[in-house]
Structure 1
């Protein structure tokens, strides 16, 4: 048991490296909560109670690097939970995603944050957010994921956690395991399961209802959710799912994950014999830099549309490919809302060039996945190979198509709703991107005052953007409280009813039918 001290401590009793100091004064009752691991004290900020940087697992360092998460060591005294835990190792150039200067970066990053209303009147619905970032960047400390408005407007408990990223969280190094240095797989997903278990054990103390947990997330966060819905050990930990811009087909194995692990070792200049020791001892930043080259340059050319950093279909933790699990009814049968942006691929063409958004990459993708479908699919995109049409092909195959496949499969087993987010602030249209990837983040969190949200409304249209966001956010909150996102009908293969969020909302049946039918039978990299 670690003892409290005025300088702060970590779970090994060492001086806290950026962790919060331990309180030595009498706690305010409404801000102190007894968790399964020890007492934590939060603070009041901007009209809500918040607890930050609570350890939900042991530090994944040393012998625990690339191993499944272990429970945290309990502590004595009261942990002052007023500062965010360290950001997971990643490229330090995305301050809006949490990787800025205010919060340190460290492998000891497995912490969780809770935000609650001022009054302690349980039980309230619980919203748990999984951040995006292509499984290579992101953090729960990002201002973009401030859940204050969700808490205030929805009378809910908001939770967001850090999980391991990049090579440390989403690659398969089991081929390099030795009896002395074993390596596990899917440790980033396992972190998320551990965080959800923490919620089950502890959230009642913060005023939350452990029997009403709604998970939501965007991009890699959405991918995490569609994968977790297919992870047996996550059963019972999530009761509803609201999924934004998932890429459910982004999971691989066997074959490709092992190949990509070898490619990473080549980029590091590490031989097969040296790999076990290198994986355990190399500085995290070396792994981050190598993953940047692999996922940002190598994979988009060699396997366009695939992600080298992604969940692994290992036959045990993630037994089946997620799309196949949904199709066979083996995904957790919980209510699901799933949707995408109108033009998912446009952002990547401008900002992060990793999708198959060129004719060359699209040719390679079909040659490696479904050459017999190429002509039929591309005929459904008028003007191809124009740049706009190619960008839409890339966005559709990665995000829209597998989301439709999940919706149609899950609707046979559990309540399912589909949406499409079509609203684009004026700035997005001026930039030629339209309603593209990630532009629903300020909408769902109600944050148009700074960061990306403020930028998107610099050219005007703030009132409309806020109104659309209010309706989108209300759907999430209604879903968390009642199990239904609104008045629009559920999804079925008969009608394919889809809610369109725009300056004026509407309901459509089977939007993009021609494209959907053209892609029929496409399975991707598996």
Structure 2
């Protein structure tokens, strides 16, 4: 049966690729416009808009269009221009497949193009040496855009931050590896083009952000799901070293990834995966694939099952992420890292059903977890019903990964702040969508109104929503400024440390120690078993034979 990119489909692929909520679209330019601000960058002058005390610049090209021979090549510098270029409108999003109307994450961008390597800047009118946040959107590395209303950066700029949001290549155009492409590369590698785009954007920020009032020596990279995975990649990539000073990582994963030319951890080489994609496209070689219409190529590759993800190429990603973190070779930066309490809710987890009896459940888990079964059953008991399997899945993918990063940074003597988003509100509770994957994003941006959200997203409608959002914005912006998350009148957020401190965002922030005791230790032990046996790790292998769906980010 032909698989469409269904709501259910984008989730497992999103989860597989490290996903994130991709939402929104539009080109609102705001109100209260006064004289248009002008900024001079290394490529030329830009005229933005003045909006309620902010200077806003949209659609700034940070690299050349990756078209023709530059499709599947490292990003090249953008062309310089004379005169003053208009920067009042968002640029196109990168080419991406459609998402079903029923998906939580269906909110398509206004336009798409291969000429999509652009970014936006929101800055306080009087900013000088202000902290900078660079946002990387989620969407399974296959959908999303920097223009989506949920990602409007005005609330950060109103708190004194220069906020940047970027686009990067998605799907097969951003993440395909292939032997011919490796042969054409000066470094003998392929894949990771979307990651190279992100690095190019960070270089643009370092060169130009002072013109917008930002401090190039105080840059925080922030992302959710696929954007959080991208941020984790950036922490591992030598080429990104020195381009950012802190990281905010919302729902990442540390699963195993394909290696470029060798089979490893139960996965074929990335180059072989790419060859299979070209066969399914009917393209005889890379030249034929370069000649294809980008939207047709993207749609066909998606329907053929291509999962965009990083490639362990020995140069950009030098090793599996957990190996890099184990050796302490990642970026030595403070982090905020965490996940949502119920990432994998029913809308994203069809097929996860609790067996009828405790004995059947124990037998199912024992087939996968062996001697670790008692620990699993203690944390995820049969009495919790389907929620046990759903929450186990979210913990395996996102909870274990977030806590592992917190522990790794702490081991290097760096501040690491762990959180769990567990806030619910009536419209979400009515659909059994409390603290679902990406539900924290509107709260971290302060964009809670219906017109900022996808059409079928449960719109926040509770009495505590705005207070929770303000708390998260205050913690996030203070961390960007100083490396320490603080909010007046709210709990002191202690670094993770040996006591495993965390903050849980419920109807208000609540400080605690050792969230879900034993969870991390269980999944760490299981991942170690998988690695030792030469199998992949960091995904919910074998849980009720859960189908790999495609619905989320």
TM range (shorter): 0.7 to 0.9
CA distance in 1 between partners of 2:311 and 2:522 (Å): 28
Contact 1:214–1:242 at 8 Å: present in 2 too? yes
The CA distance in 1 between the partners of 2:86 and 2:353, in whole Å, is 51
2:91 to 85, 96, 99: 85
* Worse overlay, 87-96 or 104-113: 87-96
Higher mean C-alpha deviation, range 177-186 or range 230-239: 177-186
Corresponding position of 2:503: 499
Distance in 1, matches of 2:106 and 2:131, equals 26
Task: Decide whether the 8 Å contact of 1:448 with 1:454 is kept in 2.
Answer: no
Match of 1:114 in 2: 121
1:264 alignment partner, one of 271, 277, 286: 277
SS of the equivalent of 1:241 reads strand
Matches within 5 A, 1:46-445: 46-93=52-99, 100=108, 103-119=110-126, 121-152=127-158, 154-174=159-179, 177=182, 184-249=190-255, 251-253=257-259, 254-255=262-263, 256=267, 257-270=270-283, 274-295=284-305, 308-346=307-345, 349-351=346-348, 357=352, 372=370, 375-376=373-374, 378-379=376-377, 380-383=379-382, 386-413=385-412, 414-445=414-445
The CA deviation at 1:258 is: 3.4
Report if the CA contact (8 A) 2:107-2:454 is conserved. no
CA distance in 2, matches of 1:35, 1:98: 35
Deviation sequence 1:475-515 (CA, Å, 0-9, x none): 101101111013221112x2111111111322221111132
How far has the Cα of 1:374 moved from its partner? Answer: 6.5
User: CA deviation digits over 1:389-434, x for unaligned, max 9?
Assistant: 2222221211111111111112111211101011012111111121
Report Cα offsets for 1:126-175 as digits up to 9, x if no partner.
111010001000000101100101111x1111100110000111232235
Structure 1 unpaired stretches of 5+: 1-19, 21-27, 300-307
Distance 2:243 2:448 in 1: 32
Note the aligned Cα RMSD (angstroms): 3.1
Hey, what's the Cα distance between the residues in 2 that align with 1:426 and 1:229? 37
Does the CA-based 8 Å contact 1:326-1:406 persist in structure 2?
A: yes
CA distance in 2, matches of 1:500, 1:180: 46
Deviation at 1:177, TM superposition (A): 4.9
Instruction: Decide which moves more: 279-288 or 383-392.
Output: 383-392
Q: CA deviation at 1:278?
A: 2.8
After TM superposition, the structure 1 stretch with the greater mean CA deviation from structure 2, 191-200 or 511-520, is 511-520
Higher relative contact order (CA 8 A, sep 6+): 2
Q: Tell me what 1:448 maps to.
A: 448
1:480 aligned counterpart, secondary structure: helix
Q: Aligned residue pairs: how many?
A: 474
Name 1:34's counterpart in structure 2: 40
Check whether the contact 1:48–1:116 (CA below 8 A) recurs between aligned residues: yes
8 A Cα contact 1:497 1:510, kept in partner: yes
CA distance 1:521–1:350, change in 2 (3 Å): same
Distance 1:76 1:116, change over 3 A: same
Deviates more, 1:75-84 or 1:86-95: 86-95
Q: Is the 8 A contact 1:97 1:138 kept in 2?
A: no
In the TM superposition, what is the alpha-carbon distance from 1:83 to its structure 2 partner?
A: 1.1
Inter-CA distance 213–131: structure 2 relative to 1 (3 Å threshold): same
The answer as to whether partners of 1:444 and 1:473 remain within 8 angstroms in 2 is yes
Deviates more, 1:323-332 or 1:44-53: 44-53
- The verdict on how the C-alpha distance between 1:183 and 1:488 changes in structure 2, with shifts beyond 3 A counting, is closer
Distance in 2 of aligned mates of 1:352 and 1:98: 17
Which stretches of structure 1, 4 residues or longer, exceed 4 Å deviation after superposition?
A: 93-99, 175-183, 356-360, 365-368, 370-374, 453-459
Find the aligned partners of 1:459 and 1:80 in 2 and give their Cα distance: 35
After TM superposition, the score normalised by the length of structure 1 is 0.83
Q: Quick one: structure 1 residues 110 and 371, their matched pair in 2 at CA, closer, same or farther if it must change by over 3 Å? A: same
1:200-221 deviations in Å (ceiling 9; x for gaps)? 0000001110011011111111
- Once the two structures are TM-superposed, the CA of residue 123 in structure 1 deviates from its matched residue by 1.3
